[in-house]
Structure 1
């Protein structure tokens, strides 16, 4: 398993070394030949990692060799990330900067002459270590396996994707793939090898449990492959020690993941902008947080920023558009309006979540978010309008407790060309029937989940045109009394859950309901009736 992670890490690093941006940077700083040598040696080592997984796990020499590989890969990743960060900063300066900012950069630690000498020394050290390890690989009789043939298609839990991406476990996506697509393949491999249990997929997401042995394995790996420099830290709930936080930010310059959720901090130190390797910053549910330093927007490697539940946050930091690697953004703010233009500049954004943004009245007018795959709107009390023309590539849409939101989106009978796989509608008192624009997802929608919509009266006759549906949940919708008559057309439908919707259960109860024959090809679930079915 550890070798599989190393293989993925090697793929990720080789992808970065081959990128045009890094090639350009290495030429500019005069280290192109050294980085090419690093790439070639790393490719030799990568080729035998999968075979190492098949060897005797009790071999202490092989285990030590893998530990040394992990260490040098970690240092190599720091170097590659450093170059990537310099390239991103150069792009931001050239795009948004002014002359004074460019002058300050020359006299900073990013001065090209100083930077070239420092990085050349580090690269030469890594190449020496890699060459030694590559020469030792023949000692273990390892065979070259150039590609991992074990992966298959699957669905990934979103939290796992965030974590793996932040720690650099994901190989670079191929053309037309997203980071989530890559993570899906790895998660499905774990499931196929019985590392996961109770695995269920539903459209754009999944649920699973870890096998007990996986926990023991994680503890073993953590002991055997402990990184030299801190990359991950999670603060306990209620953390408020400002001195410790300042020390951490000052010293741990290679930090990748920083969890500060449920903290008591009112602000963060401005020096947090120096953590240029940081990929995940979690401040969720930090209910005393009132402001953020603008220096956060210097974190060009940041992939995930979680601010959901920060109920006192007055506004988002200035320069949000500079976070050009950001994929996942989760926001709670008292800001009067959404900074739409800045968000539209986030060309890597895949996942956007608004929670309790009570002053937002509309979203996405006059902008485009072509990379956005997942949009969640939760408890935004003033939100009335969402311009769906901006987000036509959505795969997952979640709307919860947005009581003023006009679900027809002003589209009347218009049908949008959508690609939704999962739609969740929850606690929406104005929902009487489904909006017609949903028909635009006829060839993609797999899961339809409607919960606690007390005024829902019907599912429209066109529902069976959503021919990819596998799961329908209408939970706690007491006014819904029937399904469309032609439900038999949904040949891919597997499960209908009618928990808390008593009239539906009465009418379609298997074997005895008057209209059971209309849905007899699917499994009808009603937890309320579990005792009666025993």
Structure 2
């Protein structure tokens, strides 16, 4: 299925071949003519591929032809990328290199004559292979389509997101489940109510409607939401439950033993009437369930557990009694059609197209009452009024393929096929993300940019802006859920079936490797290893572009072998590994764009060769608590856009960082020896700054970072929160997102915040135990969409003019006893101030 990505690959390569950097480098090396020949053949192949992508070929011969093209494209991409690497290397040598280093470079394999001969040979080979497959295009009856005529429509964000509370056809189900939850039987044992049904029916959405209902709020003292998924290990579930509760002390439950976890949870739940939602449960092992239930069965009478599961066996095992299980039925055709029309047309426009409505009814019928399928197809047809487009979905042969009774992949695959080519690789990358985790645009931009999935940004636009634009389009296609806009960054989840589709359509190019994996595809390019049982290194292809190691990886031989053999890596992810050092040969990975060493708690040093990775865009080593210092030559990493740091050295190499003229995101974590930052330097392009757990940091010159869009400061108790700003002197005019947490010195809102209230989208205050009041000028936040205030117990009320925050979509309050009481829906003294907000989470519950 990875053949569907070929059009995007062709477009990306053609764009690179036309870029100024490649043009200039090819002229210098003397292979410009060969590259122009490659570009011409690529244009020809793209014309065939556009037809193949629309026809969705099924013949084995055509599929093999497309696989050959895929392999050639991958090799061509490596060659073109080599030119970009060489141009950048020469720039760094000329700028930073000494005379001796220039001599060493000249007599190395980068000698201009040797380099020219090698590249000319490789390009000639690629051109011969491209010419051969291009000549075969007519054999398969493919037409040459020079322009992708499929229209792309984008809605404004105000029309994009269906509010979870605005769910069609489930009000009756919601009331039935609430009735089961609030009724107190005579049984003193913990009552369990499973919602059971096939994937895509909306079990999780229904559970959220119930969970956020005001009547349910008033019935339970504690509410907890846990997404369980495939891992029902006791320790893992206990950690998730504890993390779903208010945590004023900021305890790190991941570091606790199981005995400590169960004692902590039992103490919290003891004699409390609670509601626990266990979402997406697959476990059918009764012993595991009984072990968990015994631990949490300490609450007050009337405590309940609400479970969502696809498995009837799981539901039967967990339910308290047969009558407590709630099978969720499919939507009626009428309700399904209502959802479809809502997503396929602007409000009221459907009346102009009665012929499309008739076709729409037939499409909805094929979705057999499954909301996820209806939403996906309805979104894909938004504002498209060409009758043939609607008929092509209705008559698509995918519907006729053999399917399981509960299979909705055809509807989602059709929606995927209708994505514009530039979005397909981005969607495909979701297969590498773990299931049931919240994803941020911060994560997406790293992966997409490293793999070359993002086009160059427009004027005054960053790569983060491009990624956010793509995410908005995927949201409009109903592929993303629980979407939260924090200004500069977005956070969202994937429905597990959408993740399944991503895995399905990328088979052969993207692969998740489990210990039970019987085979690794010989042409796979992107790999995540899920468990610390590493595959035979001889079976791992050397053409990899992505390699993600498992949790607590320790095999040094495997790491050294992969780094030395996989020379075309763009992404190397070693998060949460346990290596004490990195191979010195890592400096030879000249194509590497993304290197993550997050939470390598045993890592003591970084090799100096790391500074030879001039193409590196993102370097993350926060949480490396034993790392003594940053390599001296880090300033040579001139392509860096994101840098995340943990180091024990007292002096931060600020002048080196100032040389990183493309740096947009900078994070400090656990740099306990830092005393001051940014004295006498300017980081004009920096857009995002995070400073966490830097306990000795006293001063921070924010005049050095005047163009910030995102600012997060946490657990820096000695930091002067005036930021060197006196009176009305405000250094920020672009801030979209601000988070301040665990700052005991904070008593009132920092005055400098007032100067950015007309740009701020997201404002978060966590664990500020001495924060006493919210200012009246908070109401001037005309763009504010998200306000979260957690564990600020001295806050007593909201300002009177909160109703002026007309764009506020999400308000979360927890760990603020008096404020929570005043904000209870309907009865609280401050409820009238916040009742206009779409999503309000109060009474110590938050998501």
Give the TM-score of the pair, scaled to structure 2: 0.60
More displaced stretch, 87-96 vs 266-275: 266-275
Deviation per CA, 1:505-531, whole angstroms, max 9, x where unpaired? Answer: 333433333343333322463443679
2:547 aligned with 1:233, yes or no? yes
Residue 115 of structure 2 is matched in structure 1 by: 115
Q: Distance in 2 between matches of 1:336 and 1:485?
A: 46
**Any conservation in 1 of the 2:48–2:143 contact (CA below 8 Å)?**
no
Residue 208 of structure 1 is matched in structure 2 by: 492
Q: Distance in 2 between matches of 1:6 and 1:401?
A: 47
- Offset at 1:147? 8.1
1:60-459 equivalences under 5 Å are: 60-138=60-138, 139-141=141-143, 143-146=145-148, 150=152, 152=154, 157-225=441-509, 226-227=524-525, 229-413=543-727, 414-459=729-774
Shift in CA distance, 44/425, structure 1 to aligned 2, threshold 3 Å: farther
Shift in CA distance, 529/89, structure 1 to aligned 2, threshold 3 Å: closer
2:481 aligned with 1:479, yes or no? no
- Offset at 1:22? 1.8
- Offset at 1:419? 0.9
Q: Distance in 2 between matches of 1:44 and 1:283?
A: 42
Shift in CA distance, 520/46, structure 1 to aligned 2, threshold 3 Å: same
**Any conservation in 1 of the 2:2–2:508 contact (CA below 8 Å)?**
no
Q: Distance in 1 between matches of 2:755 and 2:46?
A: 44
- Offset at 1:481? 1.2
Q: Distance in 1 between matches of 2:458 and 2:608?
A: 33
**Any conservation in 2 of the 1:451–1:476 contact (CA below 8 Å)?**
yes
Shift in CA distance, 529/99, structure 1 to aligned 2, threshold 3 Å: closer
More displaced stretch, 193-202 vs 248-257: 193-202
Give 3-state SS (helix, strand or coil) of 1:467's partner.
coil
Q: Distance in 1 between matches of 2:51 and 2:720?
A: 57
Shift in CA distance, 15/433, structure 1 to aligned 2, threshold 3 Å: farther
**Any conservation in 2 of the 1:151–1:185 contact (CA below 8 Å)?**
no
Q: Distance in 1 between matches of 2:4 and 2:705?
A: 36
Give 3-state SS (helix, strand or coil) of 2:784's partner.
coil
Give 3-state SS (helix, strand or coil) of 1:199's partner.
strand
Shift in CA distance, 454/148, structure 1 to aligned 2, threshold 3 Å: farther
Give 3-state SS (helix, strand or coil) of 1:54's partner.
helix
Q: Distance in 2 between matches of 1:151 and 1:3?
A: 24
- Offset at 1:50? 5.1
Deviation per CA, 1:135-169, whole angstroms, max 9, x where unpaired? Answer: 44453235333588537477962112212222222
- Offset at 1:202? 2.5
Q: Distance in 2 between matches of 1:256 and 1:405?
A: 38
**Any conservation in 2 of the 1:377–1:398 contact (CA below 8 Å)?**
yes
Deviation per CA, 1:463-485, whole angstroms, max 9, x where unpaired? Answer: 12221101111112111112222
- Point out where structure 2 has 5 or more consecutive residues left out of the alignment: 158-438, 510-523, 526-540
Q: Distance in 2 between matches of 1:400 and 1:50?
A: 50
**Any conservation in 2 of the 1:8–1:170 contact (CA below 8 Å)?**
no
Residue 42 of structure 1 is matched in structure 2 by: 42
**Any conservation in 1 of the 2:485–2:785 contact (CA below 8 Å)?**
no
**Any conservation in 2 of the 1:442–1:466 contact (CA below 8 Å)?**
yes
Give 3-state SS (helix, strand or coil) of 1:528's partner.
coil
Give 3-state SS (helix, strand or coil) of 1:462's partner.
helix
Residue 331 of structure 2 is matched in structure 1 by: none
Deviation per CA, 1:171-224, whole angstroms, max 9, x where unpaired? Answer: 222222222222223323333333333323222222222233333334334533
**Any conservation in 1 of the 2:576–2:600 contact (CA below 8 Å)?**
yes
Give 3-state SS (helix, strand or coil) of 1:315's partner.
coil
Give the TM-score of the pair, scaled to structure 1: 0.93
Residue 309 of structure 2 is matched in structure 1 by: none
- Offset at 1:230? 1.8
Q: Distance in 1 between matches of 2:476 and 2:768?
A: 37
What RMSD, in angstroms, separates the aligned Cα atoms of the two structures? 2.4
Give 3-state SS (helix, strand or coil) of 1:498's partner.
strand
**Any conservation in 2 of the 1:9–1:171 contact (CA below 8 Å)?**
no
Shift in CA distance, 150/235, structure 1 to aligned 2, threshold 3 Å: same
**Any conservation in 1 of the 2:440–2:492 contact (CA below 8 Å)?**
no
Deviation per CA, 1:266-308, whole angstroms, max 9, x where unpaired? Answer: 2222111011111111111111111111110100111111111
Structure (1 or 2) with the larger CA radius of gyration: 2
Give 3-state SS (helix, strand or coil) of 2:54's partner.
coil
- Offset at 1:130? 2.5
Shift in CA distance, 309/176, structure 1 to aligned 2, threshold 3 Å: same
Shift in CA distance, 339/147, structure 1 to aligned 2, threshold 3 Å: farther
Shift in CA distance, 179/6, structure 1 to aligned 2, threshold 3 Å: farther
- Offset at 1:48? 5.6
Q: Distance in 1 between matches of 2:707 and 2:136?
A: 48
Deviation per CA, 1:240-275, whole angstroms, max 9, x where unpaired? Answer: 333332222222211222122222222222111011
From 490, 493, 500, the counterpart of 2:805: 490
2:324 aligned with 1:9, yes or no? no
Q: Distance in 1 between matches of 2:647 and 2:845?
A: 42
Shift in CA distance, 218/494, structure 1 to aligned 2, threshold 3 Å: closer
**Any conservation in 1 of the 2:813–2:844 contact (CA below 8 Å)?**
no
**Any conservation in 1 of the 2:51–2:142 contact (CA below 8 Å)?**
no
**Any conservation in 2 of the 1:332–1:354 contact (CA below 8 Å)?**
yes
Deviation per CA, 1:92-133, whole angstroms, max 9, x where unpaired? Answer: 111111211111111000011111111011111222223334
Q: Distance in 2 between matches of 1:460 and 1:48?
A: 62
Q: Distance in 2 between matches of 1:355 and 1:449?
A: 19
Residue 199 of structure 2 is matched in structure 1 by: none
Q: Distance in 2 between matches of 1:51 and 1:440?
A: 54
More displaced stretch, 430-439 vs 356-365: 430-439
**Any conservation in 2 of the 1:12–1:172 contact (CA below 8 Å)?**
no
Q: Distance in 2 between matches of 1:262 and 1:417?
A: 35
Residue 298 of structure 2 is matched in structure 1 by: none
Q: Distance in 2 between matches of 1:175 and 1:2?
A: 32
Deviation per CA, 1:363-421, whole angstroms, max 9, x where unpaired? Answer: 11221212222111110111111211122222211111111111110202222242111
Q: Distance in 2 between matches of 1:165 and 1:30?
A: 29
